[in-house]
């Protein structure tokens, strides 16, 4: 699952151009579908492992700042993801969870960017990032909505064989 997450992240960085009004590097977060999937099926230990592996990979391939950005958004998002999943059946669809997690990821990264750069006016990007979170979180949540029944079917078949 970690390898799949890394491949999705790599492909996304190569194929999707930067969005003009967002900070450099803002992406849809397709690899977060894997983290959401792992959190839904394996729980917090699996999900945080994926997040940490992605952060280490960012360190090795793109440097310290990229790793800090990956980990700050990823850890905050993963913690909130696992808390929200516990409420899922009662309160949130996968699309709602995707939106919440995308917002947390962007907030975590924005806080890290402000700390690393010492530029607190970056907070002005928050409104754009939250709008972007609605779009990207909806996409990742929709993808998980489509994938989960298929994964549950595969998992159920493996248990009965």
CATH of the domain at 118: 1.10.1760
Does 35 reside within a domain? yes
Query: How many domains in the chain?
Result: 1
Checking if the pLDDT of 157 tops 80, the result is: no
* Contact call for residues 137 and 93 (beta carbons, < 8 A): no
Task: Return d(Cα 126, Cα 58) in angstroms, integer.
Answer: 23
Q: Where are the beta strands (DSSP E) in 36-122?
A: none
User: Residue 82, SS3?
Assistant: helix
Task: State pLDDT tens for residues 55-83.
Answer: 999 899 889 998 999 999 999 999 999 99
pLDDT of residue 48: 96
Cβ atoms 123, 89 nearer than 8 A:
no
The arithmetic mean of pLDDT across residues 99-103, rounded, is 95
- 22 inside domain: no
CA distance 43 to 78: 10
Tell me the residue range of the domain where 110 lies: 2-16+28-160
Q: How confident is the model at residue 117 (pLDDT cuts 50, 70, 90)?
A: very high
In a domain, 88, yes or no: yes
CA-atom Rg of the chain in angstroms: 16
Of 74, 82, 122, which is closest to residue 102 (Cα–Cα)?
A: 74
Tokens of 152: 């549950």
Task: Reply yes or no on whether the pLDDT at 106 is more than 90.
Answer: yes
Task: Give the C-alpha separation, 97 to 159, whole Å.
Answer: 28
Cα separation of 157 and 11, whole Å?
31
- Condensed to tens digits (0 to 9), the pLDDT of residues 1-10 reads 899 898 888 8
């Amino acid at each position: 699952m970690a390898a799949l997450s890394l491949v999705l992240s790599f492909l996304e960085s190569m194929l999707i151009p930067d969005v003009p009004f967002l900070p450099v590097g803002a992406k849809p977060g397709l690899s977060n579908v894997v983290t959401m999937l792992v959190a839904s099926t394996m729980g917090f230990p699996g999900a945080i492992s994926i997040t940490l592996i992605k952060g280490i990979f960012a360190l090795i391939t793109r440097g310290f700042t990229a790793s800090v950005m990956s980990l700050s958004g990823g850890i905050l998002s993963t913690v909130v993801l696992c808390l929200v999943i516990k409420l899922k059946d009662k309160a949130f669809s996968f699309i709602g969870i995707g939106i919440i997690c995308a917002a947390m990821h962007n907030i975590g990264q924005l806080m890290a960017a402000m700390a690393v750069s010492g530029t607190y006016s970056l907070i002005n990007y928050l409104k754009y990032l939250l709008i972007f979170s609605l779009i990207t979180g909806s996409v990742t949540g929709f993808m998980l909505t489509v994938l989960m029944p298929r994964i549950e079917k595969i998992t159920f078949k493996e248990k009965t064989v």
